[in-house]
Structure 1
Amino acid sequence: MPPSSITPSSHDSVVATLRAAGCVFAEDEARLILAVARTPDELAGMVERRATGVPLELVVGWAEFRGLRIVVEPGVFVPRRRTEFLVEQALAQVPGAAVVVDLCCGSGAVGAALADALTGAVLHAADIDPAAVRCARRNVAAFDGHVHAGDLFEALPGELRGRIDILAANVPYVPSDEVGLLPAEAREHEPLVALDGGSDGLDVLRRVAAEAPAWLAPGGCLLVETSERQAPAAVDAFAREGLAARVAVSEEWYANVVLGVRS
């Protein structure tokens, strides 16, 4: 939008509309939408979409993640800021990682953030959802990342077996009977495959844990995000597969990350 058309009245009108729609951070969202909109018509359309419950990241087309602008397309899981804690834990555990895999990659935000922080690391990402694969390819292109379509490890090149230093797997972990309790933004605009983790939320996590040791390099680390309630069972799942497992907790981000290291 041309600067001359961004007026106090435009800002106030957008804030009022978003606030009336229940947007808690209406002023911050208004500033972002006003900065992105190029014409008055586009502004009106963006405000209407947000007011009807479309996630802000899908309205503006991107999400901020560890200082990166991650493209987010319709039908793709929106990266959460709390997942930055998983990236921080991965970098702390294996600061010299040379081979990184972002499994269940969604937009590719985790992989992009890791590659951005690790000079020269080789990045691979994979997802079963074609929309996610297309989106991730856009986000990891700047890091020469490779994105594969398929179900978990089946998607990865066999040459990575036994060579992965960081295996970040942001698996779905919402129990099936709790998906309906999620905010409407998630239920209505994000793919079920990225949310539903089975009866106790740990079905995909267990599948990843079972195969991870064969793919990890010695000293390599598997990291997943889970809930506080599920963390003990997740640690047990890792330990059963021979990984040295522990939980890292961030009270600031309300984040729980389970780490498993191959000896």
Structure 2
Amino acid sequence: MIETERELLETIKAAAKEAGELLKEGYRSDGLANFESKGASDFVTIYDKDAENAIIRCVNDSFPGIGFIGEEGGVTTGTDNDYTVIIDPLDGTNNFLHGVPHFSVSIAVTRHDELLLGSVYHPLLDEMLWAGKGVGAYLNDTPLNMPSARPFHEMLVSTCLPYHEKGNCEISLNQLSVMMPQVAGIRSPGSAALEIAYTSLGRYDAFWSEGARLDYWDIAAAIVIAREAGCTVTDLTGDPAPAHWSSLLVAHPQRHDELLQCLHSDK
């Protein structure tokens, strides 16, 4: 990894920590955070906006020409055409609003169209999962090593479920009905970035999504982490680099194809 990219990696980690401090402050304040609705059950708080602005300021201090794609701010074109920072300042806003302690800051960097760097930070646990292409994945300062694959019937898998207008409930229900009898448990905690990154730790054995709508900023950083930890990451057609991520499967290499076949058996 070249020096610029190492500096970028340290910068996004610092930016995630700075944004995380703002989120901790909001989470621990009295009462629920003020919010506005972007759509049916799709909320944004002042903390989403403040956290994204803090990330942009932090990155701009070291890389003033870089471009951004932010969940709240949209696309900001920079003068540096090589790198783009992709930001989800608060992944798990519904959890945050309801006092559920499961949310994260997610920041990725692409080089042209290639996913290069990623950091996913759980501020309440002070857990920083991060990775750079070719340099491995880490939890804080500890390198991640892919755990052994569990038997299919012992696997704990995670997913995202659609709600209101965000996705296709029928697809999710069909896939759940196929998966539920075959694995040890299914979880949908509400922060896709964390769930994907947790697969790198072995806290989950796999993550999949198709019925729920996931935006690129929800998954970009965690995909880098999962791949560097040794997971196989594709969409549900098996494509590792689709033009658009309309579905996702993250799993141990020894279980990926088996899961793919299982999820296709509902068709």
Normalised TM-score (structure 2):
0.25
User: Which has more radius of gyration?
Assistant: 1
Structure number with greater CO (CA < 8 Å, separation at least 6) is 2
More strand, by proportion? 2
